[in-house]
């Protein structure tokens, strides 16, 4: 049996296990609809609606810490796989494709239009045409700063206190306490 064959598990069980799954499965589609309804309601709120925003985020996300602010618009696949720690700030336009877990620590600063991308797709044309995909988790440590337009690729971990410069593409793990820039992001100095 190949990774791209069905077994006794649901597509959601396969997805959560990190195994290939069919992306347009009806049950996964329903979970996306629920998340997108909450996301749409959140994105329609104004800055004076903080209690409503908080309630919507608590319902949408897997976890959100105290005193964390996320400026709309926010884009997610499911929301339930996204966890953000306390006292973090997320500027406009975060795209968090949370097919796998995305864990963001405390005191994190995320610039505008950052993309956190967990999905992966087969290189082979047949499974890709058949809508198979998989995902790898992303972990962002405490006190990280992601500059505007940063893209974090599937499976990446970024260590605590690290700064990633605007427009960088993070394709591999970054250690704690460094500054990294570029495409692909490279460490240019220690902090």
121 is catalytic: yes
CATH superfamily, domain at 11-190: Hexapeptide repeat proteins (2.160.10.10)
Per-residue model confidence as pLDDT tens digits over 153-187 = 999 999 999 999 999 999 999 999 999 999 999 99
**Active-site residue (options: 36, 54, 71, 121):** 121
- Tokens for 43, please give them: 């994105």
This prediction has a pTM of 0.95
Going from N- to C-terminal start, the domains of the chain cover 11-190
Question: Which tops the pLDDT comparison, 5 or 76?
Answer: 76
Per-residue model confidence as pLDDT tens digits over 87-133 = 999 999 999 999 999 999 999 999 999 999 999 999 999 999 999 99
Q: Residue 1: which pLDDT band, with cuts at 50, 70 and 90? A: low
Are the CB atoms for 187 and 178 separated by under 8 Å? Answer: yes
Which residues does 156 contact at the CB level (< 8 Å), separation at least 6?
A: 138, 139, 170, 171, 172, 173, 174
Per-residue model confidence as pLDDT tens digits over 134-151 = 999 999 999 999 999 999
């Amino acid at each position: 049996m190949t990774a791209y064959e069905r077994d006794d598990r649901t597509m959601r069980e396969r997805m959560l296990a990190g195994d290939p799954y069919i992306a347009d499965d009806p049950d996964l589609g329903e979970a996306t609809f629920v998340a997108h309804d909450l996301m749409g309601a959140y994105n329609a709120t104004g800055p004076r609606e903080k209690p409503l925003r908080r309630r919507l985020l608590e319902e949408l996300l897997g976890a959100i810490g105290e005193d964390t602010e996320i400026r709309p618009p926010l884009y997610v696949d499911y929301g339930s796989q996204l966890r953000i720690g306390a006292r973090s700030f997320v500027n406009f336009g975060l795209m968090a494709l949370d097919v796998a877990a995305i864990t963001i620590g405390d005191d994190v600063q995320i610039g505008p239009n950052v993309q956190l991308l967990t999905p992966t797709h087969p290189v082979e044309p047949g499974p890709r045409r058949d809508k198979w995909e998989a995902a790898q988790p992303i972990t962002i440590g405490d006190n990280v700063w992601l500059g505007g337009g940063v893209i974090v690729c599937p499976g990446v971990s970024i260590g605590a206190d690290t700064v990633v410069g605007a427009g960088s593409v993070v394709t591999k793990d970054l250690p704690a306490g460094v500054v990294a820039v570029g495409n692909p992001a490279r460490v240019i100095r220690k902090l």
